[in-house]
Amino acid sequence: MKPSLIEPQAGGLIVREKEPLNLEMPFGSLDSFITPNERFYVRCHFPIPEIDAKKWRLKIEGEVNTPLELSLDEIRAMKTRTITATIECAGNGRVFLMPQVKGDQWERGAVGNAEWTGIPLSSLLERAGVKSSACEVILQGADQGEIKDPPRPAGKIHFARSVPLGKANDDVLLALEMNGNKLTLAHGFPVRAVVPGWYGVASIKWLERVIVSARPFRGHFQTIDYSFWERIGDLPTQLPITEMQVKAVIARPEVQEVIPAGEPYRIHGAAWSSNAEVTKVEVSFDWGATWNEAQLLDDTAPDAWRLWEYEWAVPAQPGKATLMARATDSRGRTQPCKRVADFGTYMINHLLPIDVQIA
């Protein structure tokens, strides 16, 4: 059966953009550790490419001893692995930035957690034989388009990102399946990369080329776009966006939800980080003056989010309340109170107040 585009829309996703297709999960509907495929957000920069699975080939080239060209059947015949990984778009939460910035106005739902089955990138690299001159692995998608705003390269470009050779060999997966089903077109059929712990931008969909490079790649989607500033002393230095920042997001209540006074209410959500475990989620009702520890729920996996809940004794007095959640991870990182200005329009993990009505 041909993978369809209908599937993601069937899950009641919010349409942020039709062309290119950008769909968001209504995060208030979070009710399971694994995000069902039809509720997993979709982020595309260019039109979804038409791919003929029979003609499709994955090329591995560059600093390798034996360049390869593999058919889908050849890839499917290789030894697979299944991992659970959370992918968040680096622009998730952008609607909360003040003043408003350019880009898709994602709320809370440009994030999902799935079980991915595929071939470790390391096994392809091993087959091709990486030369000692190699430092990075560039992943190229089949999709292409023109960049609208300068500075921009001339003509159409492919969507592409690089990962350092160490990360490529460590845990990058070339996924064929998402939650036990063949990838849908929107999620990158026939093969997509999954780069655990990194923002979604690195998880290249419709993968068609793997280029092993002897020098760092400075492509559009990791310099002009999808980059941030880090300071060396006072001096800002530009870096590509890679690891996800620690973050807890409240699924329910929703902003302006009306909550019955004097009854218990289950506040719940998800929390994730990168290359670390979420060790604590806390909830505050007084703008962060005091914090109450939430309960982390059962399901865990190294690169997956953690669901959490907190039973709130809702005041008997009607009125307004403001809720905030914050996560801490095993690397000792926690969320900043205020927006980090050097993060630009990405990596939005400062504390977000959720105003509700008690009635």
Which residues of the chain form contacts with ligand MTE (CB under 6 A)? Answer: 40-45, 87, 89, 141, 143, 159, 187, 200-201, 203-206
Q: Which of 243, 225, 274, 257 is nearest to 104 (CA)?
A: 225
Token digits of residue 316: 């008997």
Separation CA 276–CA 86 (nearest Å): 13
Token digits of residue 144: 């292409």
Cβ partners under 8 Å of residue 132, min gap 6: none
Q: Which does 141 bind (CB under 5 to 8 A by kind): ligand MTE, Mo ion, none?
A: ligand MTE
Separation CA 248–CA 86 (nearest Å): 13
Q: Which does 209 bind (CB under 5 to 8 A by kind): Mo ion, ligand MTE, none?
A: none
Q: Which does 306 bind (CB under 5 to 8 A by kind): ligand MTE, Mo ion, none?
A: none
What's the half-sphere exposure (Cβ side, CA atoms, 13 Å) at 76?
A: 12
Q: Which does 143 bind (CB under 5 to 8 A by kind): Mo ion, ligand MTE, none?
A: ligand MTE
Query: Are 110 and 88 in contact, with CB atoms under 8 Å apart?
Result: yes
Of the pair 86, 334, the CB lying nearest ligand MTE is at 86
Q: Which does 41 bind (CB under 5 to 8 A by kind): ligand MTE, Mo ion, none?
A: ligand MTE
Of all residues in this chain, which one has the CB nearest to Mo ion in the complex?
A: 89
Separation CA 72–CA 316 (nearest Å): 61
Of the pair 225, 329, the CB lying nearest ligand MTE is at 225
- Residue 144 CB, nearest approach to ligand MTE (Å): 9
- Residue 235 CB, nearest approach to ligand MTE (Å): 28
Of the pair 182, 309, the CB lying nearest ligand MTE is at 182
Separation CA 184–CA 51 (nearest Å): 12
Contact set with Mo ion (CB under 5 A): 43, 89, 200-201
Q: Which does 3 bind (CB under 5 to 8 A by kind): ligand MTE, Mo ion, none?
A: none
- Residue 266 CB, nearest approach to ligand MTE (Å): 27
Of the pair 62, 200, the CB lying nearest Mo ion is at 200
Token digits of residue 118: 């595929």
Of the pair 241, 283, the CB lying nearest Mo ion is at 241
User: What is Dmax (Cα atoms) for the chain?
Assistant: 72
β-pairing verdict for 57-62 and 68-71 = antiparallel
**E strand segments, 179-218:** 181-182, 192-194, 207-213
Of the pair 186, 283, the CB lying nearest ligand MTE is at 186
Of the pair 43, 326, the CB lying nearest Mo ion is at 43
- Residue 43 CB, nearest approach to Mo ion (Å): 5
Separation CA 162–CA 288 (nearest Å): 38
Query: Are 260 and 359 in contact, with CB atoms under 8 Å apart?
Result: yes
Of the pair 18, 320, the CB lying nearest ligand MTE is at 18
Separation CA 36–CA 28 (nearest Å): 14
Q: Which does 203 bind (CB under 5 to 8 A by kind): Mo ion, ligand MTE, none?
A: ligand MTE
CA triple 48-45-60, angle to 5 deg: 70
Query: Are 35 and 113 in contact, with CB atoms under 8 Å apart?
Result: yes
Q: Which does 44 bind (CB under 5 to 8 A by kind): ligand MTE, Mo ion, none?
A: ligand MTE
